[in-house]
Structure 1
Amino acid sequence: MDSETFEELLGIVAPLIAKQNTCMRDAITPNMRLSSTLRYLATGEKFEDLKFLTVISPRSLGVIVIETCEAIISCLSNAIKVPQSEIEWKAIADGFEEIWNFPNCLGAIDGKHIAIKRPPNSGALYYNYKKFYSIVLMATVNANYEFIVADVGTNGRVSDGGVIKNTEFGKAIYNKTLPLPGPSQLPKSDKVLPYVFVADNAFQMQGHLIKPYPGTNLTNTQRIFNYRLSRARRIVENVFGILVSRFGVLQTTIQLAPEKAQIIVLACCYLHNFLRKKKSYSFSHLIDQEDENSGSIAQGAWRRESHLNVLESAHLRNSSNKAKEIRNNFAEYFINEGAVSWQQKYLR
């Protein structure tokens, strides 16, 4: 974050974090409150360590960070916004078609475990199968590496595939209550298919949510489909990678109660979308890069880190016959009218 962006953000949140001076002492300024919070989010340093740089007591820092994060979420509330109309959803689909050659795609979905300290008297409630305590960040992103949904707080013990059904957005997908556009004709084709979200095998495939073909003994058509879906779905993995690389607090075990950790993580998500539009927030070296000539993928720098705990599939999940039919139709499209010139090179 450059100084210009910091001043812009300070101007936005200052009214909510400014405190009155008292006869006993001067209040900590909004500038110091925001800069201390941003340093905590960027480094993940303990409050005990931050006190030497900020000259603020650890106890006060604990209050300031949470209050400032709440202010960031409130003031940047429009930075993450679920589309409210068919037109807004179609704009997202246009992005996936233009950038990632996947028509009728409304977003990429995935989740990440955020490590937290064991809450008192919680038993195994937050203890996940990866053998640490966590809450889950469930996200849906657009083609431009931006969150359109960020839900945080489901306890880590919930099975990875079941997390999405604990979120309001996930319930809306499976219950078909989102204002999604109706089926439309694919480019250069007479196929009419519904709009879908793309996910991996941790999720149950139904209607508006599709995932790769499982297994290794796949036909060429199925392998092509998995590659094309992977190109679109990798966006959400890369967003997590950017988030963890930029916000060091997510590389640590957050030493706060789950409710406060939830505020911390949400603030990071809102800041990511806010900063995404700023030139100083560069991350091209962090994300996966694809060579269309050779079909090879140069993995982003974030993949070399060991602290990105994305959701995994523990077992195969039943899919509806309708969802399988939709996936098959997309697969046929991707080897015919919707083929791209380099997809066979990728499979060699």
Structure 2
Amino acid sequence: MDNDNANIARVAFCVGVVAAVLQGRRRNRRRLWSREWLSRRYAAGSMNLLYRELETEDPESFTNFLRMDNNNFRELLELVSPLISKRDTILRECISAKHRLVVTLRFLATGESYKSLQYSTRIAHNTISLFVPQVCRAIYEVLKQNFLKMPRSVDEWEEIAREFQEKWNFPNCIGALDGKYIHFRSSRADGSFYFNYKGSHSIVLLALVDARYKFLYIDVGVNGRVSDGGVFRESTLAEALRQNSLHIPPNIALPGRVLGVPHVIVADDAFPLPYNIMKPYPDRGLSLQKRNFNYRLSRARRTSENAFGILANRFRILLNCINLSVEKVEIVTLACIVLHNFLRSKKDANYLPQGLVDRVMSEGRVIPGVWREGPILDGQLVRQGGNRHNNDARAIRDEFCEYFVTDGILPLGNGM
């Protein structure tokens, strides 16, 4: 009996050894470094060839492909290359900075999934998922200082006010304020933290826009559950307005009027009505004068609506429900915004083609832009109840209202 037990033990031991060896071999089995078809990314049929063909043969399609012309692309590449370049190793050749930037810009322009981009770029989707957020962060870091900044002097604010008066017939206006939802797929661990009243998960993009559709100030990342008033109240912009630290010009009378009023930011009824914010009258039993004021305010607010429309029309990743973590969604949004300002500063006609945004005719009639006909960046924040107005703010609004039906009346066709 003892010998039988010993034999059984020896057999069991041998079986265990053999199983461990086989398992080790399976674990250590050599895997492919890269699939053959992926390694031919610089060969015919890849995005590299397409890029070169568009660059030399069809500049207009090149601009549509990357949302910028070749000169702007090369300038951007020169700026970001130090932050995104990698070195070749003895094992494999790295993906060049140019290809990293091309793939990232195509991702932002189309909203394609990493898996889809894999087949058009011959770069593995897991590799794309690693470098796209890195390139987006690099784009934001190199562009934000020159292309996303608040005015720092009275003269700069007055220039913005002059443009609002010339383009949108609204004096003493230094910006249009609006907020939009950026939708993404939240993880289970987040629960309902990012769940908004529209039934989706999102973060909030709060922005101040000038008369040329450029973003002056942004706040990205507040969860979609927070109301508009909460987003603005906790923003650095609200704090700067409260502290009077933005070097906004002093009060001045509206053209042809006597009473001095502050320079204001126009917003919709989702926002509160503090001293420097101008919002419409509540839509209940309005007089003709107040309806006229609301119309004139909505005209000026079209700058922020148009800015969001251009942004989403040119960088269509923002039209999708982005399948990334909230941190990556934030950096993708920031990259899109600084790219928008970068291209607006270049006055690239291909980036803002004729008819894309709203136009004001000589008689005061507004023609809606083409961007309003398609899907747009999802909309308005929920209105917060109980926004109280102080007497000064209401008096300022009444002064604007009186101006718009006397000295500031539009000639004809005001759309009412």
Normalised-by-shorter TM-score class: over 0.9
Alignment correspondent of 1:333: 403
CA–CA separation in structure 2 for the residues paired with 1:72 and 1:336? 48
SS in 2 for 1:188: coil
Alignment correspondent of 1:179: 247
Deviation at 1:262, TM superposition (A): 0.3
Q: Calculate the aligned-residue CA RMSD, in Å.
A: 1.6
Deviation at 1:216, TM superposition (A): 4.1
Alignment correspondent of 1:3: 70
2:386 matches 1:319: no
- Segments of 5+ residues of structure 2 without an aligned counterpart are 1-67
Counterpart residue identity of residue 335, structure 1: V
Alignment correspondent of 1:71: 138
CA–CA separation in structure 2 for the residues paired with 1:177 and 1:296? 37
CA–CA separation in structure 1 for the residues paired with 2:228 and 2:198? 11
Deviation at 1:21, TM superposition (A): 1.2
Alignment correspondent of 1:130: 198
CA–CA separation in structure 1 for the residues paired with 2:242 and 2:225? 22
2:367 matches 1:305: no
Q: How does 1:101-120 map to 2 (within 5 A)?
A: 101-120=169-188
Any conservation in 2 of the 1:160–1:311 contact (CA below 8 Å)? no
Alignment correspondent of 1:26: 93
Deviation at 1:104, TM superposition (A): 0.9
Any conservation in 2 of the 1:201–1:316 contact (CA below 8 Å)? no
Deviation at 1:7, TM superposition (A): 1.4
Q: Which residue of the other structure, out of 8, 11, 15, is the alignment partner of 2:82?
A: 15
Any conservation in 2 of the 1:210–1:327 contact (CA below 8 Å)? yes
Deviation at 1:320, TM superposition (A): 1.5
CA–CA separation in structure 2 for the residues paired with 1:311 and 1:346? 22
CA–CA separation in structure 2 for the residues paired with 1:316 and 1:98? 35
Counterpart residue identity of residue 302, structure 1: W
Any conservation in 2 of the 1:110–1:310 contact (CA below 8 Å)? no
Q: Which residue of the other structure, out of 260, 277, 285, is the alignment partner of 1:209?
A: 277
- For structure 1, which segment, 281-290 or 147-156, has the greater mean C-alpha deviation from structure 2 after superposition? 281-290
Deviation at 1:187, TM superposition (A): 2.1
CA–CA separation in structure 2 for the residues paired with 1:299 and 1:129? 28
CA–CA separation in structure 2 for the residues paired with 1:12 and 1:184? 42
CA–CA separation in structure 2 for the residues paired with 1:163 and 1:95? 28
Any conservation in 2 of the 1:244–1:308 contact (CA below 8 Å)? yes
Larger radius of gyration: 2
Q: Percent identity?
A: 43
**Cα shift readout 1:220-276 (whole Å, capped 9, x = no counterpart):** 211111111111111101111111111110011111111110000010000001111
Alignment correspondent of 2:64: none
- Segments of 5+ residues of structure 1 without an aligned counterpart are none
CA–CA separation in structure 1 for the residues paired with 2:339 and 2:232? 23
**Cα shift readout 1:101-157 (whole Å, capped 9, x = no counterpart):** 111111000011000101331111100000000011110000011100121101001
The normalised TM-score by structure 2 is 0.79
Deviation at 1:170, TM superposition (A): 2.6
2:161 matches 1:93: yes
Q: How does 1:268-287 map to 2 (within 5 A)?
A: 268-276=336-344, 277=346, 278-287=348-357
CA–CA separation in structure 2 for the residues paired with 1:257 and 1:175? 35
2:214 matches 1:146: yes
CA–CA separation in structure 1 for the residues paired with 2:192 and 2:239? 25
Counterpart residue identity of residue 136, structure 1: V
The normalised TM-score by structure 1 is 0.94
